[in-house]
Chains A and B, each alone.
Chain A
């Protein structure tokens, strides 16, 4: 059974950090962090996302694509050509290692929607790009766009995360924000697209947990044009954030207040302004509440968010050092790359940790 044909729960390790002043760090640091949580994954999926890595193409959507073979690649490129202006395309460079095998064709395209196509679609640029990505992933069998943001990219594979990082030569990329994931699926899909992070535009999500609200969340979000092809929690969570932030116009903090809303009895004890606010969110966005264990790290171009489920059924530790904020499943993953943090703490269940880049620096 392939990913998407069956729902696969998984345990996992997550790690991420952001330099709020946009200082660039190469990928070796995040590899070192996730590697020390080796035992939390089982070699069936690892991945990374990095922000600020394509400054020379920062106004173009960077599409990272897996292909099963060259025929499907030709078909997909025909589609891309019809809808986008492609300013650069290349294989994503990899370093062969015996630990990573059976790789698909992995290509990268820097694109911009064709103005005529965009105008006739009556969509904005982002929605147009999302629609095209959904089309490829749903209808071009054997092609899978796994990253489509600007000035960011995801890199993922079947394998242990440290080997995946090595394979993708992440030490050669420099970003201001990095997230990483080691996967422990309770099944053996053996498909690269199923690894985390899961991305849509500039949102990248890594997740540890198995949400019990999945099908309620999935059926809700699919009403709004999203297609949960992979049947994974992470995919649904990514779409929930895209929907709440990009389509509804919420801040990331407000979106976190939806997915990990406070308990009703806590809300009733709040002062009026907060009570009205949370009542409104729970009343009107109730199908997007996420229950069951999760620790999530969500990357986007403006920052990094860490959040646990309301009961904190999964671990998550946060640390700060100067302008850098670290988040990880375990403290060791932070200590491995920052031995002397200013503060270390475990955020409470449902309380988002929001780190934002400082613009204007």
Chain B
């Protein structure tokens, strides 16, 4: 016996179903099939609830529901835990999951409220007045140099500049498809912001988008070479990821095919294993050397980002990074997404981005070094409101990954590790990847970021703020609701009503 309880059940309305077979074609998970006798049947246990069949069914005959079949109710030994035990008892393996932590943990963004102007200070109407969302990232250089006539001689300072405070976070070519990368690259270019290669190298077709690309150097160093480093606008050293702090990465050999193996510079069919640590970085002084090496390799022209997972002592870690010569620190909270991570790590390791960001920003200010680095916050930025709150807590900009994938059609079925993404995003199966039209994807990404930006402008205007740089760290604009004294102290905000 396999003990394979189905999480979902497929409901087919036989009154509507016209037997067109579309569902059988659309579902790469093999849920829908014709029996030998020609009957349309379902394998409910294989369903991941990605909604592909529901949305493509021309007759509107399908629904996916949580399985009504109920295990003996037990709040402690829930169906989830029992099912996971069955799985491990059957395989002896580590549980794998994808995307961010889905558990009902507290969201601090949901317990923070934003201010608006009334009477003593006018709100600003973004339809009638300029509202500035342009950001610059990197070290601030405050040493004034004057020319012979006494005028300030402006220096060129290494950094990034984007029209919106939203960047697409690292997702490798391999973990997501060529078409998904193409959509991200085109959207980044149109929005005048950046996307991030992740640890998959940069496909030769995308060198043309270099000015809008952040190239990543991670522990496996896949796809890293001189042209790659110099192709992007910035280099990101990936020390950690919010979904799996302390863990490396693993792209199975089956996915290391064709262009992916060429881009990663590894043989076809070989597993691409990124070690947990960078084996040349066992401490902060080693990080400094890698930062310096990358600067040397790029003529000191490219800003260096260091991406870390939000862990308990993140403030001290960030302070060390700020003193390592890095220009930007990206902090990834524990709700951040992933293409695959051990479930137990994804769900139990790391801390929320809100608390991590607030304590990092406060710590860097206490040490007087906040102006040496910019901060990018990621790890479940779900809306423009989350973004505004992150910036007011102290971020210069935010990274979005999950939200970007949703714009491309992801339905958060959290099954990327299976490589059968029916939406053509987290798969390399050519039959599936062609379902994602890069042009259409880019248009949807541009729409999403533009919509968030419009919303941000409205919220900023309400606060009477017409430049995003002075929203940064402007914690007086935030109030907590239902938070403890300790939580308020860490966030550096007052309670609503105060």
A5 to chain B, nearest CB (A): 11
Task: Give Cα A290–Cα B121 distance, bound, in whole angstroms.
Answer: 14
Does residue B300 face the partner (Cβ distance < 8 Å to A)? no
Pairwise interchain contact A212-B464, C-beta atoms closer than 8 A = yes
What is the chain B residue whose CB lies nearest that of A7? B476
Q: A213-B470, A215-B474 are in contact. Are A186 and B120 (CB under 8 A)?
A: yes
Chain B residues, Cβ within 8 Å of A11 = 120
- Can you add 10 more A-B contacts, CB < 8 Å, to A186-B119, A216-B472, A291-B464? A212-B470, A212-B477, A215-B476, A216-B473, A219-B473, A220-B370, A265-B130, A279-B154, A283-B159, A311-B466
Task: Give Cα A25–Cα B465 distance, bound, in whole angstroms.
Answer: 40
What is the chain A residue whose CB lies nearest that of B469? A286
Partner of B475, one of A215, A248, A265: A215
Partner of A215, one of B122, B130, B473: B473
Contact with B along A274-288 (1 / 0, CB 8 A): 001101111111110
Does residue B371 face the partner (Cβ distance < 8 Å to A)? yes
Contact with A along B110-140 (1 / 0, CB 8 A): 0000000101111010000110101010001
- Counting chain B CB atoms within 10 Å of each CB, the highest count among A10, A290, A313 belongs to A313
Does residue A249 face the partner (Cβ distance < 8 Å to B)? yes
Q: Please, could you name 24 A-B residue pairs with CB atoms under 8 Å apart, sorted by A?
A: A210-B464, A212-B463, A212-B464, A212-B470, A212-B474, A213-B465, A215-B477, A216-B471, A219-B473, A220-B371, A223-B371, A248-B144, A250-B152, A277-B152, A280-B154, A281-B152, A286-B136, A286-B470, A287-B469, A289-B469, A291-B464, A291-B465, A291-B467, A292-B465
A274 to chain B, nearest CB (A): 10
B125 to chain A, nearest CB (A): 10
Chain A residues, Cβ within 8 Å of B134 = 264
Does residue A75 face the partner (Cβ distance < 8 Å to B)? no
Chain B residues, Cβ within 8 Å of A280 = 152, 154-155, 157
B233 to chain A, nearest CB (A): 15
Pairwise interchain contact A276-B465, C-beta atoms closer than 8 A = no
Chain A residues, Cβ within 8 Å of B144 = 248-250
What is the chain A residue whose CB lies nearest that of B361? A219
Task: Give Cα A279–Cα B471 distance, bound, in whole angstroms.
Answer: 19
Does residue B68 face the partner (Cβ distance < 8 Å to A)? no
Residues 127 to 177 of chain B near chain A (Cβ within 8 Å): 129-130, 132, 134, 136, 140-142, 144, 151-152, 154-155, 157, 159
Residues 231 to 250 of chain A near chain B (Cβ within 8 Å): 248-250
Task: Give Cα A287–Cα B134 distance, bound, in whole angstroms.
Answer: 13
Chain A residues, Cβ within 8 Å of B467 = 213, 286, 289, 291
Task: Give Cα A265–Cα B132 distance, bound, in whole angstroms.
Answer: 9
Does residue B299 face the partner (Cβ distance < 8 Å to A)? no
Does residue A359 face the partner (Cβ distance < 8 Å to B)? no
Chain A residues, Cβ within 8 Å of B154 = 276-277, 279-280
Q: A224-B368, A291-B465 are in contact. Are A311 and B124 (CB under 8 A)?
A: yes
Does residue B225 face the partner (Cβ distance < 8 Å to A)? no
Does residue A222 face the partner (Cβ distance < 8 Å to B)? yes
Q: A287-B470, A292-B464 are in contact. Are A9 and B121 (CB under 8 A)?
A: yes
Does residue B80 face the partner (Cβ distance < 8 Å to A)? no
Does residue A144 face the partner (Cβ distance < 8 Å to B)? no
Does residue B365 face the partner (Cβ distance < 8 Å to A)? yes
A267 to chain B, nearest CB (A): 10
Chain B residues, Cβ within 8 Å of A26 = none
Chain B residues, Cβ within 8 Å of A216 = 469-474
A197 to chain B, nearest CB (A): 20
Pairwise interchain contact A313-B122, C-beta atoms closer than 8 A = yes
Residues 446 to 470 of chain B near chain A (Cβ within 8 Å): 463-467, 469-470
Task: Give Cα A282–Cα B463 distance, bound, in whole angstroms.
Answer: 21
Top-9 shortest CB links A-B: A280-B154, A213-B470, A215-B476, A212-B464, A286-B469, A216-B474, A210-B121, A276-B154, A216-B470
Residues 304 to 339 of chain A near chain B (Cβ within 8 Å): 310-311, 313
What is the chain A residue whose CB lies nearest that of B154? A280
Does residue A168 face the partner (Cβ distance < 8 Å to B)? no
What is the chain A residue whose CB lies nearest that of B128? A311
Pairwise interchain contact A223-B365, C-beta atoms closer than 8 A = yes
Task: Give Cα A248–Cα B155 distance, bound, in whole angstroms.
Answer: 15
A73 to chain B, nearest CB (A): 34
Q: A215-B477, A292-B464, A311-B466 are in contact. Are A287 and B472 (CB under 8 A)?
A: yes
Task: Give Cα A10–Cα B151 distance, bound, in whole angstroms.
Answer: 37
Pairwise interchain contact B473-A285, C-beta atoms closer than 8 A = no
A211 to chain B, nearest CB (A): 8
Chain B residues, Cβ within 8 Å of A46 = none
Contact with A along B371-393 (1 / 0, CB 8 A): 10000000000000000000000
Does residue A217 face the partner (Cβ distance < 8 Å to B)? yes
Task: Give Cα A87–Cα B466 distance, bound, in whole angstroms.
Answer: 49
What is the chain B residue whose CB lies nearest that of A283? B136
What is the chain A residue whose CB lies nearest that of B370? A223
Pairwise interchain contact B142-A284, C-beta atoms closer than 8 A = yes
Contact with B along A123-162 (1 / 0, CB 8 A): 0000000000000000000000000000000000000000
